[in-house]
């Protein structure tokens, strides 16, 4: 799927953008527009998400093509960054500073150091604001990074793997905060390599793989694509041939392989397989010693999408 | 603690690029450095040195009522009050230079290396901040500490002399000398800060940056003096950055009294070569800095 669904006028525009690091490809021929609201940037590690975001935040100059952020080239015109908040993936701290001093410093570069306290309060870090960053947990570090990104109330919020290291409650709060920005009409771009994280955050998804934009669409459209992907299930059994024969009769099963005491099932309807297996044991006496979904990883999904 | 959205009022002002961004960077870097005990200790020592210099000036200005040894030196050097600032500056210059190198290694050389190690550059350059402001901010923080050493003692000597001297119109008469001493301090700051920051931009390890800067300073000193002696060419002292500054200082502040022992070669060095050497060292540091800061922006 390469047809982009209708989107509002783009806040972000990539036109045939490519980025190489010497011999290494970072991004290839990316053409995409992103409008207000939350947009997920999804792809496995090394897909080009960070390159995409660095180009967007003006940290990199494209090798080819044009990048537009709020109508201007973010690499050439640094003033546009006044309207952008960025949460980098890696920890980028002066560890001996307190969270408050850190956020005040970075907000001060926007001329709004006084906003630091409100930002820290908003991300739930007011109580720990005067502690040194080196004493923070991973989740608190993510929060302080978020605080520096939102302190100047940006029109565009760019978050690189924001949920990494956060506990479920903090994740929920982070997602609520993104939604709040969305309600205000802001543009939020959030990258992740975890499908269900992106699903929880947004309906609009850009799929990146091996430096290319593979698909742009709503969550339902991406899901639809993935649902036609034959899932692989591996079932361990002492009688794999008998089990394979039974499973082959199920709807949606498109292939079966035997491998060293296990059965590899390719199916477009994995639920049917999971429903049938207990009856195989109880009614037909077929031994089932274990089962595992063999290809739930995003890499496998992307492998399928690009075939 | 849950996120309290209600308490977060929308900011009515507009986010903007501030011309004070370089100041914000410099102020934060100075505060961070001052939290390091070693830095505080060295700054304290240098402050004492400044006070001592001022006190020495005070003793010289007493003319006839001061310590007999000081009076002996005045007779020996054949100097009067007007020349005191120049003489004291000349006598301090070498010591200040070495302390300046140590201080630049301690507070200047790690400045960019630590940003690269902490991967902090994306936080800077995703903001309305240009490379020039970033470099200026870092350079200003290094200059602040170097000024404590290379400018404050000179200014304090002037103030004490003006405060305690009986000479008529001493403040105005000594003002040109003060400005020249401050100018030489400024030249020292420029060459030390640019070379230290240039070295800093070459590595991600602050300690390596400091040691490399010290190594360059020591090797340049040894090479320059060895070659100048061996080839009997004082112009080869141009190979040492701070020697260029000291030669320029000698030109700006001619000393009537006998030169400090060991500085005869320096006096024999061509002042034009000294300016050229100063320009090359400072320019080289800045060139490396600009090229590397642009480059690290891309590859972090």
- B11-25, B56-70, B113-127, B257-271 — most confident range: B113-127
- Note the pLDDT of residue B8: 42
Tokens linked to B1: 């603690």
Q: Which of B31, B32, B127 sits opposite A81 (nearest CB)?
A: B127
Residue A45 has pLDDT above 90, yes or no: no
pLDDT, greater one: B113 or B290: B113
Check CB contact of A172 with chain B, cutoff 8 Å: no
Query: Which residues of chain B does A116 touch, with a Cβ-Cβ cutoff of 8 Å?
Result: none
Interface of A with B in 185-224 (CB under 8 A): none
The shortest CB-CB distance from B3 to any of A61, A90, A122 is to A122
Per residue in B24-60, pLDDT tens? Answer: 899 999 998 888 888 888 888 877 877 777 777 666 6
Residue of B251, B248, B239, B236 lying closest to B274 (CA atoms): B248
- Other beta carbons within 10 angstroms of residue B253's beta carbon come to 20
Structure tokens at A69: 């952020």
The pTM of the full predicted model, rounded to 2 decimals, is 0.76
Q: How far apart are the first and last CA of chain A?
A: 12
Average pLDDT, integer, range B211-217: 95
> Average pLDDT for residues A8-35, to the nearest whole number?
86
For residue A94, the model assigns a pLDDT of 86
Does the model's ipTM exceed the 0.90 cut? Answer: no
pLDDT value of position A306: 56
Q: Give residue B200's pLDDT.
A: 94
Average pLDDT, chain B: 80
* pLDDT score, position B70: 53
Q: Does B298 sit within 8 Å of A96, measured CB to CB?
A: no
Q: Could you give the residue ranges of the DSSP H alpha helices within B35-130?
A: 37-61, 68-77, 81-103, 110-117, 121-125
Q: At what angle do helices A270-282 and A240-248 cross, to 10 degrees?
A: 130
Cβ contact, residue pair A110, B15, below 8 Å: yes
In angstroms, rounded to a whole number, what is the distance separating the alpha carbons of residues B134 and B139? Answer: 9
Contact A31, A15 (CB under 8 A): yes
- At B59 the pLDDT is 67
Q: Computed from CA positions of residues B49, B52, B58, B59, in that sequence, does the dihedral angle turn out positive or negative?
A: negative
Residues A219-266 have pLDDT tens digits of 666 656 666 667 778 888 888 888 888 888 888 888 888 887 888 888
Residues of chain B found within 8 Å of residue A79, distances taken between Cβ atoms: 17, 128
Is there a contact between A149 and A85 (Cβ–Cβ < 8 Å)? yes
Residue for token digits 């035997």?
A258
Q: What is the mean pLDDT of residues A180-204?
A: 84
């Amino acid at each position: 799927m390469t047809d982009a669904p209708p989107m509002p006028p783009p806040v972000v525009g990539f036109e045939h953008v490519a980025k190489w690091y010497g011999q290494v490809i970072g991004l290839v021929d990316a053409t995409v527009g992103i409008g207000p609201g939350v947009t997920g940037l999804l792809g496995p590690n090394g897909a080009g998400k960070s390159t995409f975001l660095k180009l967007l935040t003006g940290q990199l100059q494209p090798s080819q093509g044009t990048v537009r952020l709020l109508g201007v080239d973010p690499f050439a015109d640094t003033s546009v960054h006044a309207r952008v908040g960025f949460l980098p993936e890696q920890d980028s701290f002066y560890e001996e500073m307190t969270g408050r001093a850190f956020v005040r410093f970075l907000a001060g570069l926007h001329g709004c150091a006084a906003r630091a306290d409100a930002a820290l309060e908003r991300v739930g870090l007011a109580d720990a604001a005067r502690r040194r960053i080196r004493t923070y947990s991973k989740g608190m570090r993510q929060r302080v990074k978020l605080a520096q990104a939102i302190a100047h109330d940006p029109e565009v919020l760019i978050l690189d793997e924001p949920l990494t290291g956060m506990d479920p409650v903090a994740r929920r709060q982070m997602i609520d905060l993104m939604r709040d920005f969305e309600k205000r009409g802001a543009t939020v771009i959030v990258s992740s390599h975890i499908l269900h994280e992106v699903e929880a955050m947004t309906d609009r998804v850009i799929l990146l793989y091996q430096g290319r934009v593979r698909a742009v669409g709503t969550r339902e459209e991406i899901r639809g694509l993935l649902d036609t992907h034959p899932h692989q299930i591996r079932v361990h059994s002492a009688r794999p041939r008998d089990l394979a024969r039974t499973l082959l009769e199920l709807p949606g099963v498109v292939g079966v392989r035997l491998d060293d005491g296990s059965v590899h099932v390719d199916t477009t309807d994995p639920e049917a397989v999971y429903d049938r297996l207990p009856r195989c044991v109880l009614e037909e006496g077929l031994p089932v010693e274990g089962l595992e979904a063999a290809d739930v990883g995003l890499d496998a999904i992307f492998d399928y999408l690009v075939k | 603690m849950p996120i309290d959205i209600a308490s977060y009022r929308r900011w009515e002002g507009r986010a903007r690029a501030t011309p004070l961004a370089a100041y914000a960077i410099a102020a934060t870097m100075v505060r961070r450095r001052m939290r390091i005990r070693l830095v505080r200790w060295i700054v304290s020592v240098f402050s004492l040195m400044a006070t001592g210099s001022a006190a020495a000036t005070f003793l010289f200005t007493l003319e006839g009522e001061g310590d007999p040894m000081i009076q002996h030196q005045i007779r020996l050097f054949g100097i009067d009050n007007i020349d005191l600032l120049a003489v004291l500056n000349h006598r301090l210059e070498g010591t200040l230079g070495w302390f300046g190198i140590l201080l630049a290694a301690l507070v200047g050389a790690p400045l960019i290396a630590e940003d690269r190690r902490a991967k902090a550059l994306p936080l800077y350059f995703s903001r309305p901040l240009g490379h020039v402001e970033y470099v200026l901010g870092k350079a200003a923080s290094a200059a602040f500490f170097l000024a404590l050493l290379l400018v404050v003692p000179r200014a304090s000597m002037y103030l004490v002399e003006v405060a305690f001297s009986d000479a008529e119109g001493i403040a105005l008469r000594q003002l040109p000398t003060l400005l020249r001493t401050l100018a030489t301090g400024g030249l020292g700051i420029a060459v030390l800060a640019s070379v230290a920051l240039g070295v800093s931009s070459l590595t991600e390890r602050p300690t390596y940056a400091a040691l490399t800067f010290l190594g360059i300073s020591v090797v340049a000193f040894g090479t320059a003096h060895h070659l100048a002696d061996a080839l009997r060419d004082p112009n080869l002292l141009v190979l040492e950055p701070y020697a260029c500054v000291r030669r320029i200082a000698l030109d700006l502040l001619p000393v009537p009294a006998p030169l400090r022992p060991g500085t005869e070669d320096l006096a024999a060095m061509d002042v034009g070569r000294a300016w050229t050497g100063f320009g090359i060292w400072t320019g080289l540091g800045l060139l490396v800095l600009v090229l590397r800061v642009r480059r690290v922006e891309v590859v972090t």
